[in-house]
Amino acid sequence: MQIECYAQRLLNPFRGVMHTIRYQSAEAVTTDGVEWDIYVANDALLDGLGHAGRRAQISDIRYGRWSAEKGLKRGPLFPSDDFRRLEEMGAVVYEHLLKRHRDVPFPFRDPFELWLLDRDDRPLALLHSVRTDVETDTRPPLDWRAGLAAQEGFESTAVSGLAEPAAVYLTRHVNSLASGVVQWFRRSDDGAGLGLLTLKGGDHLRGRVLDADAFPQQFISTAGMDDAHARLVHDYHAWQAPWLLLLPHLDVAARSRLEASACRQAELVEKHFRLYPMVIDRAALYAARVEAALVRSQPRKKAASEVMPMYYIELGVSADE
């Protein structure tokens, strides 16, 4: 019986990490290490489809939601010919969840990365990541997005005189620096990347190897930007700090800066700190968590932006459509 435990980034924009316990076509997933959703899927529907089955989608059925505090709340039952098999898969994942939920964060298992390239064919912005080479035949949006949440919550004075949200301007600026070519890379343990297939041209780039330094740690390159736009990206990263701290590859200097920025968003620190792979200033993050607890204890009306979960899907037409 093969059970996988792994983490995968939620991208374009980067908005956190999904931790998964998977057995066959059943999985338990969490973005905060506390609340886990368990799903099963009838993968038997793909039998006989061959290569076409790679693109076919089957609906997930909610097995239940679990937390250590509340226990398991079962989802609705959908009797079918395969119901017993789906129940058995869900039960295996649930039993493993009870044993492994304290082991988060899990290792990242999404080494295949899709990058938007700049005009020098260097990685400009990370668009997508997947676990296997088979999944590189997916067609995600091929432009970079700052995100819907950023349009509401991200502010910056780095570029003066903006007549639109900073996130909208940043989205357009990053994409204006792109060559239009995107490329899949397989990242190795040392951070280097082997160039794989390209989209929208750039066939000559296949097979190249780029050092780890060619890939920006925080997924947007500021190479070639003037000071104002580099500060705009820096401000965006500061706004993303509670999520960026989930990444294991940050150097100490970057993590220290991000921790200081993250403490300005105490409730997000409280939500995600269980999944931080390491902490530099433990006292500062503890103070942020105390602040979040005090805020939660006060009655307030939720704003519309607070209803949107961090793992919302960015909808829109891709650049090649």
pLDDT of residue 179 exceeding 90, the answer is yes
pLDDT confidence band for 81 (50 / 70 / 90): low
| Rounded Cα–Cα distance for residues 282 and 29 (Å) | 27
Distances (CA, A) of 228 to 76, 156, 169, 172, 272: 53, 10, 13, 15, 30
**Count of C-beta atoms within a 10 Å radius of residue 252:** 9
Q: Crossing angle of helices 166-176/227-239, nearest 10°?
A: 120
At residue 59, the pLDDT reads 63
Mean pLDDT of 183-211: 96
At residue 61, the pLDDT reads 87
What does the radius of gyration of the chain's CA atoms come to, in whole angstroms?
A: 21
SS3 assignment, position 61: strand
The string of DSSP letters for 190-227 reads: TS-EEEEEEESS-GGGTT-EE-GGGS-TTSB--TT--H
Higher-pLDDT residue of 82, 263? 263
Of 224, 220, 194, nearest to 209 (Cα)? 194
Q: Say what the pTM is.
A: 0.86
Tens of pLDDT along 11-60? Answer: 999 999 999 999 999 999 999 999 999 999 876 544 444 444 444 454 67
Sheet holding 123-130, edge to edge: 123-130, 112-118, 178-187, 193-199, 209-210
Rounded to the nearest 10°, the torsion over CA 45, 48, 52, 57 is 0
At residue 60, the pLDDT reads 78
Write the DSSP symbol of residue 50.
G
Task: Give percent above pLDDT 90 in the chain.
Answer: 78
CB 66 within 8 A of CB 73: yes
